[in-house]
Amino acid sequence: MKLEMGYINIHDIQFSNESKVENGVLYVDQDAVKKLVLEDENIKSVTLDIAHPGESVRITPVKDVIEPRVKVEGPGGIFPGVIAKVDTVGSGKTYALKGMAVVTAGKIVGFQEGIIDMSGPGADYTPFSKLHNLVMVCEPVEGLAQHDYERAVRFAGFKVAVYLGELARNLTPDETKVFETYGVKEGIEKFPNLPRVAYVHMLQSQGLLHDTYVYGVDAKRTLTTILNPTEVMDGAIVSGNCVSACDKNTTYHHLNNPVVHDLFEQHGKTLNYVCNIITNENVYLADKQRSSDWSAKLCRLLDLDGVIVSQEGFGNPDTDLIMNTKKIEAVGVKTTIITDEYAGQDGKSQSLADADPAADAVVTGGNANMVIHLPKMDKVIGMLDYVDVIAGGHEGSLKEDGTIEAELQVITGATNEMGFNKLSAR
């Protein structure tokens, strides 16, 4: 499968009476965007704001981050099974607005949303401080259940991202990259001397607002299966979860998965990138056994030499991570896992809830329990109501002077387990 990605660089976002992209500036018609969002009867109101890198701005509580894209050529559309029809995506031509994102925010769960600081020490821990962000703060109608509120905000973010992506359809990209993988037989013939490597991509699916969607299907209802890596670039996997902000895989992470991009960089040079194997992180033991059995089975059927395994979340999913690693190693396939740590504020506690000698190649995204001090910002987009109860916060985290003392958990994307951050350890 072959996909051509065109990147349109965005250097600024401004509100205007017309939505368009011109000379690297994204102009946004507020009325048009609000009208689109308010088509959902579950959303009472939406406030739009813009946050630029380096500004004294704090965005909270953050739900999701989404990069606008548009399908220019080829089957299907962006976010298949969610916004577009359920066609197989990942081939043809897709354009992306780079350097900006749509950020959704609201009082959905409260304790499992996050913070994005656009400047100061907090900005160093999140990749989203480097983007020009169009922020949507959505308020629900009275009495709306949390899961309905989450769904409304999720779809609002996707619809706005598709609306903005459509503005790039007839533009000329600033940069173009081609991504291509091959069938099993063709790949062996083409790269006979290169190790066959795949990516075992664990998807958050613990339920109770801990969900990821694949072609619109809740991942906890799926069996372990195979995806072409380019399918994720067209939005085949999207976030629908409210988990600890530091290691949440937002939709932006899925669209720009660094494991996928790094494997493509080495594809045909040092390795043969065969496919992605997606598997879930359900809570029942039987489901964990089934999913990890299938992960190992597919690795063996594909005659892989090695895999990279990434997880999302911590605690309960640590069991899935180790089950996958043990079983894949047992069928003769080498593994490297990507995780983060909850090692206590002093860094001396057990980092993972499960462990095994087979998991002897580990990349860590850092310790989420590390305490950070965030200065007061001149502007808050959203509300500070939940700072004390966001996972990683505590009673008194928000000080009277507007500063925050909390664990790194509160920062969106800080210890991301795809490696989409700057932290690690030895």
- Residues marked as catalytic: 242
Half-sphere exposure of 52 (CA within 13 A, CB side): 8
Instruction: Answer yes or no: are the C-beta atoms of 225 and 277 closer than 8 Å.
Output: yes
d(CA 13, CA 132): 7
Which DSSP letter does residue 219 get? G
Any bridge partners for residue 175, and if so which?
7
Q: Which amino acid is at 410?
A: V
- Please say whether the beta carbons of 139 and 46 come within 8 A: yes
Which value, to the nearest 10 degrees, does the dihedral of the CA atoms of residues 315, 398, 137, 164 take?
-70
Pairing between β-strand 196-204 and β-strand 272-281 as defined by DSSP bridges: parallel
Separation in Å, CA 345 to CA 244, 325, 350, 399: 16, 27, 12, 20
Whether the link from the prior residue into 61 is cis, omega within 30° of 0, is: yes
Q: How far apart are CA 392 and CA 394, in angstroms?
A: 7
- The amino acid at 84: A
Report the run of H or E that residue 97 belongs to, with start and end.
strand 92-98
Query: What stretch of H or E contains 214?
Result: strand 212-214
Looking at residue 1, what DSSP letter applies?
A: -
Q: For 353, which DSSP code?
A: S
Whose tokens are 């494991």? That residue is 259
> How many whole angstroms separate alpha carbon 348 and alpha carbon 342?
10
Contact by Cβ (8 Å): 62, 37: no
Cβ-based burial of 178 (10 A; exposed 0-12, middle 13-18, buried ≥19):
exposed
